[in-house]
Structure 1
């Protein structure tokens, strides 16, 4: 666990942090419509992937490698173990010079996340989690207390970018009417999940759930005592892009159940169709 945390911090110090607020012309590219990447993302992924394979020689499913070759993500289902790597989570924040970004990896065995690591360079904060063993912040055990009061007192984030328009309107209205405060989030799962684990947020509803974004934080939250589950109640498992959408993360099971009820209202409660 410690060595992987060191690998993330080392790669960050080598190629990510030196470019924070110092990206040169030509070091930011569009990899897909509306999706950007930097040289820091690409270089960090190469370094992290190589060093992880020295620890455990299994396939590395990295965000940038999958962008170039989507078939690489099949390893999540075809291989007994894989490393997932998000070299710069919150790339838009990184480009804009905002400190809400992270470097993340997780280890997936037989389709289940068994260990995860999140490094937040701006605050030199390391989050780690191991299945069945707990979650930590800089070596201190994290325990998420249940959400206090009821929905009218809770603070949450609604990530609505990839929602179908009708469902977006429904969820936004229900959220505005039912909760104490709703934020748009911080544009970085590696910052948002720790916010739930440490109590700054009581819940988050995500829609698009790319595995490198959600495997690390989901394990962190659940090992701290929270819940990360699909809208039909099934526990989160990392899926290849496009396989699953809709994920509700909450402080505890009761707040998960009540948040889901408030957000969905009368919307059907089975597994939702993908919203693109």
Structure 2
């Protein structure tokens, strides 16, 4: 666990952090409409992927490598073990000079996330989680604080950008019963830890790219929370294309209450 945390922090220090608020002309590109990538993303992924393979020689499914070759995600179905890498989560924040970005990876065995790492460079905060062994922030055990029992006191995030308009409008209307709906932080590697820390009581995601959600889902569940599809199926990292809703919540009771509100009507 410590070695992987070192790999992320060292790659970040080498090629990511020096470019924060210092990206040169030509170092930011659009890999798909509305999707940015920078030289920091690509260089960090190359470094992290090489060093992870040296540590455990299994396939690496990295966000930027998949952008070039989508077939790489087949390893999630066909291989017994896979590394998932998101070299700069929250690239739009990184490009804009906002500090909410993270460097992440996770280890998937038999279709389940068994370990995860989130490094937040601008606060020098490390989050780790291991299946069955707990969640940790800078070496201290994380336990999710109790959430309010009343929906009117809950604070959540609704990530509805990729929903069809009619479904988005219904969800937004349903969410009026909650105490506060926060716009989110545009980085899963910052949002998931804030569920574990107690800032957010729930987050609803629609698009669930595996490198975005495997690390944080394990962190939240190992801290006592829940990360599951709306039918109650626990989260599993899947190839891109799975867009059927993922609800992350502070605890089982909050998950059930939030699902009831979101799916009403």
Residue in 2 that maps onto 1:39: 39
Residue 206 of structure 2 aligns to a residue in which SS?
strand
Asked whether the 8 Å contact 2:128–2:219 carries over to 1, the reply is: yes
Equivalent-residue separation in structure 2 for 1:76 and 1:95 (angstroms): 30
Residue 185 of structure 2 aligns to a residue in which SS?
coil
Equivalent-residue separation in structure 2 for 1:24 and 1:165 (angstroms): 37
Residue 46 of structure 2 aligns to a residue in which SS?
helix
TM-score by length of 1: 0.95
Equivalent-residue separation in structure 2 for 1:229 and 1:220 (angstroms): 13
Equivalent-residue separation in structure 1 for 2:243 and 2:204 (angstroms): 14
Residue 201 of structure 1 aligns to a residue in which SS?
coil
Asked whether the 8 Å contact 2:27–2:39 carries over to 1, the reply is: yes
Matches within 5 A, 1:78-89: 78-89=78-89
TM-score by length of 2: 0.99
Residue in 2 that maps onto 1:192: 191
Equivalent-residue separation in structure 1 for 2:81 and 2:184 (angstroms): 31
Residue in 1 that maps onto 2:58: 58
- Larger deviation: 144-153 or 156-165? 144-153
Asked whether the 8 Å contact 2:106–2:214 carries over to 1, the reply is: yes
Residue 183 (structure 1) shift: 1.1
Residue in 1 that maps onto 2:262: 263
1:114 aligns with 2:114: yes
Residue in 2 that maps onto 1:217: 216
Equivalent-residue separation in structure 1 for 2:181 and 2:243 (angstroms): 24
1:24 aligns with 2:20: no
Residue 87 of structure 2 aligns to a residue in which SS?
strand
Equivalent-residue separation in structure 1 for 2:11 and 2:132 (angstroms): 28
Asked whether the 8 Å contact 2:151–2:258 carries over to 1, the reply is: yes
Residue in 1 that maps onto 2:105: 105
| Cα deviation code 1:113-155 (max 9, x no counterpart) | 0000000000000000000000000000000123123110000
Equivalent-residue separation in structure 2 for 1:213 and 1:243 (angstroms): 13
| Cα deviation code 1:47-98 (max 9, x no counterpart) | 0000000100000000000000000000000000000000000000000000
The structure-2 alpha-carbon separation of the partners of 1:69 and 1:201, relative to structure 1 and needing over 3 Å to count, comes to: same
Residue 147 of structure 1 aligns to a residue in which SS?
coil
Residue in 1 that maps onto 2:14: 14
Matches within 5 A, 1:85-234: 85-176=85-176, 178-234=177-233
CA-atom RMSD in angstroms: 0.6
Residue 235 of structure 2 aligns to a residue in which SS?
coil
Asked whether the 8 Å contact 2:207–2:242 carries over to 1, the reply is: no
Residue 244 (structure 1) shift: 4.2
Residue 122 of structure 1 aligns to a residue in which SS?
coil
Residue 66 of structure 2 aligns to a residue in which SS?
helix
| Cα deviation code 1:154-211 (max 9, x no counterpart) | 00000010011111000001102x1000011100000000000010000000000000
Equivalent-residue separation in structure 2 for 1:264 and 1:68 (angstroms): 36
Where in structure 2 are there 5+ consecutive unaligned residues? none
